Structure 1
């Protein structure tokens, strides 16, 4: 049984949905992002979605764009991020870890090498937000060969043909986008049409469905679960917490009080969002 299967089975038995926070590895530095990730886990995250910084994050809104910039400024690259993930994996052997990585990274490294390095770090899944499912075949083949789940996006109001293709290609989970546009809390998520999309995906024996984009409040998590999703992913709201504390954490001597405040805020946020998944 995979880590995702084990997680979703356990959650179903407990009558819970999954809550999965997103943060950028390397934001505000590689070392501090590791502290951030541990705070998310301590707060009760069921799994993680972690970003790798990229210069042109076309699927992201301003908040997560700035996290890419901070991480790149700190010197984080793909290999540094893999080292962080490997340490997290060593401490949390059963926790599902998904990565959101833009397609140019596997293109630059070569697909076989890219997915092999992901697997070696202990990554369970990779979502490529700028690779549509119609272009997914070579990525899926390389991921499958390395033992990594390929995750694809089910766009809002997608055609039945596209939903069928996403259901067929996705492993681990399906990322259902809650609304048109980029990531961010500026525009709220919407569950309009989600129940129909979930039913279509499940008819094709898809992996569990997670709702993302614009999830920032507990009531939005509860609405996603009520509409039939297996869980919710929150990115910009989590990154905003990191961003609010980042100025006091930059430099050679991060402010200890600011770091403790950041950890506390992340734990509290995750605990509140996780509580909303209980049916």
Structure 2
């Protein structure tokens, strides 16, 4: 059983949902992002998304766009991202790691080489936001050969007839993009989530994670009451950005501020179903 499947099975047995925070590789530098990654499990992360910085993140709002640009300035490359995961795995062989990003850097690196090197580094799953299911064969075979889950995205506008196409070849969990638009903008209401998730439950047995627009502990708790996981990205990146100095460098409070916010989110998620 994969780390992702094992983690969701354990959480289901415990009767609680998962918190999935996001960290952008090399934002604002390699050492700071690695320190955040290493600190997240202790602060309450159940799974972790690691962003692969890209210069044209079309699905993302201003917050993640700025984080990606900081990551690129901080020396991000595919090799560097995988080095970061390798370093994390020296101390943590249990927390599932999902790489999230865009297909261009993967194509430049090589599909087969990327999947093999990602698995060797300790990656568990991939969310490639600009590869539609119809083009999923680009990564399906090399991902499967290396034991990587392909995590698909579903939007509020996805019709029922399209769900089997989206779910074909999907594994790990299903990522529900809870709003129309880019990351970090508005937040879906509890009523919207309660109406949307049963439709997805009828189509798949995969765990369902809700992302795009979850900012507060209350919103994270609402997400895991409706589904299986809450993904929090822009809120943490905003906190990180607010700690940087005038030159965009990390300060003494950068890591601690983000991890403290993560603890507050984790407390809410863990109490949500009690």
Would you call these one fold, judging by a TM-score over 0.5? Answer: yes
Structure 1 residues 39 and 266 mapped into 2: Cα distance closer, same or farther (>3 Å)? Answer: farther
SS of alignment partner, residue 245 of structure 2 = helix
Query: Could you give the per-residue CA deviations for residues 225-248 of structure 1, whole angstroms, max 9, x where no partner exists?
Result: 222x10100000111111112227
Unaligned runs of 5+ in 2: none
What residue in structure 2 maps to residue 164 of structure 1? 164
Query: Aligned residue for 1:234?
Result: 232
Cα separation, 1, equivalents of 2:59 and 2:191 = 21
* Matching residue of 1:244: 242
Moved over 4 A (4+): 248-251
What is the aligned partner in structure 1 of residue 211 from structure 2?
212
Alignment correspondent of 1:155 = 155
Cα deviation, 1:45-90, whole Å, max 9, x if unaligned, reads 0010000111110011101101111111122111011101111122
Provide the residue aligned with 1:26 in structure 2.
Answer: 26
- Unaligned stretches of 5+ in structure 1? none
TM-score, with length taken from structure 1 = 0.91
Residue matched to 1:223: 222
Q: Is the 8 A contact 1:151 1:172 kept in 2?
A: yes
Cα deviations across residues 104-127 of structure 1 (Å, max 9, x unaligned)?
122222211111111111000010
Measure, in 2, the Cα distance between the counterparts of 1:164 and 1:191: 26
Give the Cα separation in 1 of the matches to 2:255 and 2:247. 12
The corresponding residue for 1:51 is 51
Deviation string, structure 1 residues 124-170 (Cα, Å, up to 9, x no partner):
00100111222213322221112111111011131012222223332
SS in 2 for 1:93: coil
Checking the alignment, whether the CA contact within 8 Å between 1:54 and 1:68 is kept in structure 2 is: yes
Looking at structure 2, the residues matched to 194 and 164 of structure 1 have their Cα atoms a distance apart, in angstroms, of 20
Pairwise mapping of residues 183-222 of structure 1 onto structure 2 (< 5 A)?
183-184=183-184, 186-222=185-221
Q: CA RMSD in A?
A: 1.8
Superposed displacement of residue 35, structure 1: 1.1
Q: Is the 8 A contact 2:125 2:151 kept in 1?
A: yes
